[in-house]
Structure 1
Amino acid sequence: MSEFQTKLDAIAAERVARQDLMGRRVATSLAESQARAGDLTREAAATVQRLAEQAARTRTAAGWELPEKADPNASLGMDFEDPEMATEPTNRHAPPPEPQARRGRHARPDEPEDDYSTKDWLG
């Protein structure tokens, strides 16, 4: 029976040694993968930042996104309570555009008889 007990003890010791070895391998692999993931995350963040800056420079250079305009009301020496009002265009009450002449297949020239603004309707 003692031989059997020594074999069982040897098998148990080998099992414990294998589990320890596997645990160390897992811990090493996990640490390496976490370090690599951190490196990849930093590289990706740097790449995204670089591409965003490049896109902003491209939009500005192409005229899609102009730098901040000067305030048209700054020369008046007045401060506005509402910051949105400070950037209102100065010609917001411009007259409406003139209507264009009719075009297309059914267009007809404007005739003087179509103008009834001077017609005396009572006479």
Structure 2
Amino acid sequence: MSEFQAKLDAIAAERAARQDLISRRVETSLAESQARTDELTRETAATVQRLAEQAARARTAAGWERPEKPDPNASLGMAFEDPDMATEPTNRHAPPLEPAARRGRHARPDDPEDDYSNKDWLG
């Protein structure tokens, strides 16, 4: 019986040694992975910042960069729930552009009753 107990103790000791070795390998691998991830994160952040600065310089050099327009409704002291509505044009009733003259086979004189360009659809 003591021989059997000795074999069981040897197996248990070997299993504990293997588990300890596996645990150390996992810890080492996790530490290496974390270090590499941190390095890649720093490199990526630096690259993104560099590309953003390069794009901003290119837009400015090409003349695409426009100054921010003032909000025409800011002086009214009212805030809008929809940010798209905050930049609503102040002059909706500007005269429309003159339509191109009709040409060709189906040309006909313009009838004033057919002209809806000056119709105030919102009023």
The two structures share one fold, judged by TM-score above 0.5: yes
Equivalents in 2 of 1:54, 1:18: separation in Å?
53
Number of equivalent positions: 101
Report how far residue 58 of structure 1 moved: 2.0
Instruction: Kindly report structure 1 stretches of 4+ aligned residues shifted beyond 6 Å.
Output: none
Aligned to 1:66: 66
In the alignment, structure 1 segments of 5+ residues that lack a partner are 72-78, 111-123
Aligned to 2:42: 42
Aligned to 2:10: 10
Aligned to 2:20: 20
Q: Which has the higher contact order (CA 8 A, sep 6+)?
A: 2
Aligned to 1:57: 57
Report how far residue 16 of structure 1 moved: 0.5
Match of 1:20, as an amino acid?
A: D
Equivalents in 2 of 1:61, 1:92: separation in Å?
34
Change (3 A) 1:44 1:64: same
- On the 8 A contact 1:60/1:67 being kept in 2, the answer is no
Equivalents in 2 of 1:94, 1:67: separation in Å?
25
Equivalents in 1 of 2:103, 2:62: separation in Å?
36
Match of 1:38, as an amino acid?
A: D
Q: Deviations over 1:17-69 (max 9, x none)?
A: 11001101101101111121122122212222222222222223223332346
Equivalents in 1 of 2:98, 2:2: separation in Å?
113
Report how far residue 92 of structure 1 moved: 7.7
TM-score, normalised to structure 2's length? 0.58
Equivalents in 2 of 1:10, 1:105: separation in Å?
105
Question: RMSD of aligned C-alpha atoms?
Answer: 3.4
Match of 1:14, as an amino acid?
A: E
| Identity in percent | 76
* Residue range with higher mean Cα deviation, 17-26 or 56-65: 56-65
Match of 1:80, as an amino acid?
A: S
- On the 8 A contact 1:59/1:65 being kept in 2, the answer is yes
Equivalents in 1 of 2:99, 2:2: separation in Å?
113
Aligned to 1:80: 75
